[in-house]
Amino acid sequence: MKQRIFRFAKHITAAILVLGTLGILFGLYHGASFHYGDDPKMMNWDKDGPYVFYKKDSVLKVNYIRGNQDNGFSLDQKEYTTEKEIPTFCYFSLDSTRFEFSINRNIKTPVNTYHDKNKILAISDIESSFKTFRDFLINNKVIDKNLNWTFGKGHLVLVGDFVDRDFSTTQVLWFIYKLEQEATIQGGSVHFILGNHELKNMQGNYETTSQKYFHVAAILGKRQDELYDSNSFIGKWMASKNTLECINGILFTHGGLHPDLVKYRVTLDEINEIVRKHYYKPYYPKSEKNLTQLLISTYTGISWYRGYFKGNLTQEVVERSLNKFQARSIVVGHTLQPKVNRQYKGKVIGIDVKHPKDYHKNFPNTKSEGLLIEGCKYYRVLHNGEKEEI
């Protein structure tokens, strides 16, 4: 009897181990991971900032957080008129990186169509990991080790979801702002295309936001939704950005183009304007079906759509959407890929990969990737600057 029980227990244990192993392998294949080794510096918020808000149209209040959890926090605050550029800095506590830049009151909506022969480097879904973002740009010669723009007249395209999940949202956003200014001086461009997580933060949805920013808002004497509202300088700057652009015949958007979009006579300008009007309006499905609902839906919207990788689209359907905007391909993030790749005969390029996090490690280890486009050639570029044509 005891032997029978022992054999039964052994078989059950073996079955559990086999099923558990298969479950883990299945999860890893589909992008699952777990993190470990949290760095305590993620709780170091001393010198965190700047957090910049309009006191009135002509006055900006610049805030830096000082102190720590043990001794309490305070604010360094200064007011500036918007008549001149405001010199300021941003600090990254993990490795004591500091970069300086100026805040310029002029915020302009970027154009959404570009025609030149300059190279393009695209990356998406950094999710608040400043170090990962910075190191990728250094190794791929977009910036130098002093964090200055070295990409000349090239296009750096940031295909959404640069916020949420990690502790360096503030540093990432100001770094984009800094590089945007430097690129313009050299004739280059930084294209910050908003993804669904930028929109979620602007609309007050913080389900994937680090708890740090709930506490930061409290230290600033504000609600969390005020960090990126129209009274916030960085919020106003984000609200000027597009969600769909065409660069040298290639479309860039975070999610993608739903097939039903071909039913409507609409331009890139009109698409961006429609979506921009809803940046601060949380979506809910309405009974009427129209172009606006199609574009802002959390299922079909251009910042949310996953149909290229989750649906059963035909080559003809994909090309019909591209032809509508006279585009030869489309680059998207949002839907996780094992590596940067081209699908649908090279017409759809997925660039959302699992990037390393600043303040903890993941198993399995992850490495950043992006996309380089030179003329008609597409390259998968790696975290160390290596590239391979795809």
What are the tens digits of pLDDT across the range 91-131? Answer: 999 999 999 999 999 999 999 999 999 999 999 999 999 99
Instruction: Look at strands 97-103 and 113-114 and give their pairing.
Output: unpaired
* Tokens found for residue 389: 């044509």
Predicted confidence (pLDDT) per residue in 127-171, tens digit: 999 999 999 999 999 999 999 999 999 999 999 999 999 999 999
Mean pLDDT, the chain, whole residue set: 92
Distance CA 32, CA 336 (A): 10
Mean pLDDT confidence for 299-306: 98
Predicted pLDDT at 39: 85
- For residue 160, give the nearest of 361, 378, 350, 15 by alpha carbon: 350
Predicted confidence (pLDDT) per residue in 324-381, tens digit: 999 999 999 999 999 999 999 999 999 999 999 999 776 777 899 999 999 999 999 9
Predicted pLDDT at 364: 75
389 pLDDT higher than 70: yes
Predicted pLDDT at 361: 73
27 pLDDT higher than 50: no
- For residue 337, give the nearest of 364, 312, 308 by alpha carbon: 308
Q: Is 251 helix (H, G, I), strand (E, B) or coil?
A: strand
Distance CA 259, CA 215 (A): 42
The kind and range of the H/E element at 317 are: helix 315-324
Distance CA 85, CA 70 (A): 36
* Tokens found for residue 50: 């700047």
Which residues on adjacent β-strands are paired with residue 81?
59
Predicted pLDDT at 30: 47
- For residue 48, give the nearest of 82, 88, 84, 79 by alpha carbon: 88
Report percent pLDDT > 70 for the chain.
90
Predicted confidence (pLDDT) per residue in 61-84, tens digit: 999 999 999 999 999 999 999 999
First to last CA, the chain: 62
CA atoms within 13 A on the CB side of 53: 15
> Residues 291, 257: contact at Cβ < 8 Å?
no
**Cα separation values, 172 from 50, 105, 125, 129, 326, Å:** 12, 19, 12, 7, 33
Distance CA 105, CA 177 (A): 12
Predicted pLDDT at 239: 98
Backbone angles phi, psi at 54, to 5 degrees: -80, 125
DSSP 111: P
Predicted confidence (pLDDT) per residue in 30-48, tens digit: 444 556 678 888 899 999 9
- For residue 120, give the nearest of 188, 33, 199 by alpha carbon: 188
Query: Can you tell me which residue has the tokens 């700057």?
Result: 237
**Cis omega (within 30 of 0) for bond into 356:** no
CA atoms within 13 A on the CB side of 162: 25
- For residue 199, give the nearest of 302, 126, 287 by alpha carbon: 302
User: What CATH number is given for 106-389 in this structure?
Assistant: 3.60.21.10
Environment class of residue 385 by beta-carbon count within 10 Å: exposed (0-12), middle (13-18) or buried (19+)?
exposed
Predicted confidence (pLDDT) per residue in 269-285, tens digit: 999 999 999 999 999 99
Q: What residue ranges in 189-319 does DSSP mark as E strands?
A: 189-192, 244-247, 250-253
Predicted confidence (pLDDT) per residue in 241-263, tens digit: 999 999 999 999 999 999 999 99
Question: Given CA atoms 302, 303, 309, 311 in this order, what sign does their dihedral have?
Answer: negative
13 pLDDT higher than 90: no
Instruction: Round the CA-based radius of gyration of the chain to a whole number and report it.
Output: 23
Which residues on adjacent β-strands are paired with residue 252?
245, 331
* Tokens found for residue 321: 């959407």
* Sequence spans of domains, the chain: 2-32, 106-389
9 pLDDT higher than 60: no
Distance CA 157, CA 113 (A): 13
Predicted pLDDT at 23: 44
